[in-house]
Structure 1
Amino acid sequence: MDASDDYRLLRRVPEEPPIEPDDGSPTMSVAVVDVETTGLDPDSDRIVELAIRRIRMTLDGRLVGLGERRSWLEDPGRPLDAEVVRLTGLTDADLEGRRIDDRTAVSVLRASDLVVAHNAGFDRPFVERRLPQVAGGAWACTCNDVDWAALGFEGRSLSHLMFQLGMFFDGHRAASDVAALIAMLVHRLRDGRALFEVLLETARRDTVLVDAVDAPFEAARVLRARGYRWNQRDRRWRREIGEEALGAECEWLDRKVYSSGGAPAYSRVTWRERHA
């Protein structure tokens, strides 16, 4: 059945993935992280579950070390919305009086060279607001730092990507998502590269954040079509590009957005600032 094109066999994500021999190759300590929260806004919502597992990876994506599974529930101090209960299965009774072990969580994160999450733009602000001692570390995002379409995948949700990798897991709980992420990182593509290697190549590359400061209202359509996204907090159109594309982007902005005056703002982004 596994060899037939008429069937697709899915395997459950293992809780304990196999560890390969350590041959002395350079490695990185990686904290794989996921959170469940009361909502989408890190300024007003709270973490209700935090899961972390530290792993040691070679730069070519071999898992050579596996730390302890760690997961904590935390009482947000207010009742959960019905949608959160439906998605996670957590209830107010499950969370009552529970608290994240700050000392352990901070120790694991600060001892890691890199933090990986599937949607780091969501997880990172929540983690750093709850544990400000770990702010400023290097982060990578398996959702947005991998060009999944170029690799032949459809969509970017964790469950759908894992399905395409031939695996399934019980989603919407932080510990299950962390196990799935580890399985994703060590998975090898048809060209022999591990997904961790693909992620690392993109995530460690510096980029440029382009802010279309004071862009005229009528430029919104062309900015959106160009790939800019509206940042509600700073109230400006924003796009992250590779350093090699900066010259062409400046020229395009001069012609399409600032022909009557004004100029964008630029800032360099490393994996220590990205997704914050």
Structure 2
Amino acid sequence: MKLKDLKKMAAILSQSNQYRVTEKYQRPEFYNIGDSDPKLIGVFLDIEATGLSSAQDKLIELGMVKFEYSENGRIFRLLDEFSRYQDPHMSIPEYISKLTGITDDMVNGHQINEHEAASYLQEVDIIIAHNAQFDRTFFEMTFPAIPPKAWGCSMCDIDWKIEGISSHKLEYIAYKYNFFYEGHRAVIDSLAGIHILAQDLPNSKQPVLKQLLANALQLKFKLWATDSPYDSKDLLRARGYRWSNHPTTNYKSWSIELAEDKVAEEIDYLRSNIYGGSTLNMPVEIVDAYSRFSNNYKHLQNATKYQDKIEWIKMLCLK
């Protein structure tokens, strides 16, 4: 049966309101043409690893796909791909091989050239991953000498819940955009990620990439509610705080990441509702697109770079 006949059948089924038809991903020739805006270069990056623990596991596959985009969030065309295996020098767990199809024999003896990866990324303006915390951690562990780039996350830089998409899983988001793909391989996951970025959001109707860029490129302020009373934990959790280890001192505390325009309000809330009106003395991290999700480049948020904002927060805490 020819493709045009299948498309007709799919249209009939969809119009019946009794079926939902999803289409297998096909790499498009282009997404948009004829835009006079300056073109930037983005990369969607995906990593497959032997597991989830950056302390114990290793990268086994790196996939990257370049694409052209403009500052208003329009994607134009896909560019070249980068796909390499990496020998982890450990046995790949059976469940990982079943999930990805990658076996010990496939990666045996392979080593990704760090200079080659750095050259591929040289002209790139932003790297995007789905769960960038995971991907950037493994990327930097494997290639510590590659200079930092701005990073965005298609999982956390889009408010999928407000858009009516209840799961953050890439395959589920693809399903909501009426396509499917063979997942858990680095390049195809990257192509699917770009395909989603090229769509419009269901409710706000703006390009997905436009919202991602707006969120990824703004400064983030991470407030650490140190020594907060134990009985305030439910209030903090309900407000969006997470219990985690501070990256430099390694103590555990409740923390929240906010945009700059929310910082003053949050400090007032903490003073009034958590600390009983007393002066605050809390650690604050200022994170930009180059240092977010990174353990290697925390020095980029040094006191001299954002000294004016650090002094502003100190004054808010003393009020």
Aligned mates of 2:242, 2:23 — CA distance in 1? 37
| Residue in structure 1 matching 2:65, options 12, 33, 53 | 53
Instruction: List per-residue Cα deviations over 1:120-168 (Å, max 9, x = no partner).
Output: 0111111112112335311000100000111122211100010001010
Change (3 A) 1:17 1:266: farther
- CA contact 2:114–2:146 (8 Å) conserved in 1: no
- CA contact 2:84–2:112 (8 Å) conserved in 1: yes
Gap runs ≥5 in structure 2: 1-12, 295-319
Equivalent residue for 1:134?
Answer: 146
How far does residue 2 in structure 1 lie from its aligned partner after superposition? 3.2
| Residue in structure 2 matching 1:3, options 15, 18, 21 | 15
- Sequence identity, in percent? 29
Aligned mates of 2:54, 2:33 — CA distance in 1? 40
Matched length: 276
Q: What SS does the aligned partner of 1:209 have?
A: strand
Aligned mates of 2:18, 2:222 — CA distance in 1? 46
| Residue in structure 1 matching 2:219, options 197, 206, 213 | 206
Which amino acid in structure 2 is aligned with residue 92 of structure 1? Answer: D
Instruction: List per-residue Cα deviations over 1:214-243 (Å, max 9, x = no partner).
Output: 334443333222211122463222210121
Equivalent residue for 2:316?
Answer: none
Q: Answer 1 or 2: higher relative contact order, Cα 8 Å, separation at least 6.
A: 1
- CA contact 2:30–2:77 (8 Å) conserved in 1: no
- CA contact 1:128–1:135 (8 Å) conserved in 2: no
Aligned mates of 1:243, 1:61 — CA distance in 2? 22
Q: What SS does the aligned partner of 1:215 have?
A: coil
How far does residue 25 in structure 1 lie from its aligned partner after superposition? 0.8
Aligned mates of 1:46, 1:96 — CA distance in 2? 13
2:206 is equivalent to residue 193 of structure 1: yes
| Residue in structure 2 matching 1:71, options 67, 72, 83 | 83
How far does residue 192 in structure 1 lie from its aligned partner after superposition? 4.8
Equivalent residue for 1:271?
Answer: 289
Aligned mates of 2:256, 2:85 — CA distance in 1? 35
TM-score normalised to structure 1 length = 0.92
Aligned mates of 2:29, 2:146 — CA distance in 1? 27
Change (3 A) 1:61 1:255: closer
How far does residue 114 in structure 1 lie from its aligned partner after superposition? 0.3
Change (3 A) 1:214 1:189: closer
Equivalent residue for 1:149?
Answer: 161
Change (3 A) 1:19 1:225: closer
Aligned mates of 1:60, 1:6 — CA distance in 2? 37
Q: What SS does the aligned partner of 1:162 have?
A: helix
| Residue in structure 2 matching 1:242, options 249, 259, 265 | 259
Q: CA RMSD in A?
A: 2.0
Ranges of 4+ aligned residues in structure 1 off by more than 6 Å: none
Aligned mates of 1:243, 1:75 — CA distance in 2? 42
Aligned mates of 1:267, 1:147 — CA distance in 2? 23
- CA contact 1:14–1:179 (8 Å) conserved in 2: no
- CA contact 2:223–2:256 (8 Å) conserved in 1: yes
Which amino acid in structure 1 is aligned with residue 152 of structure 2? Answer: A
Q: What SS does the aligned partner of 1:239 have?
A: strand
Aligned mates of 1:262, 1:60 — CA distance in 2? 39
Change (3 A) 1:14 1:215: same
Aligned mates of 1:189, 1:218 — CA distance in 2? 39
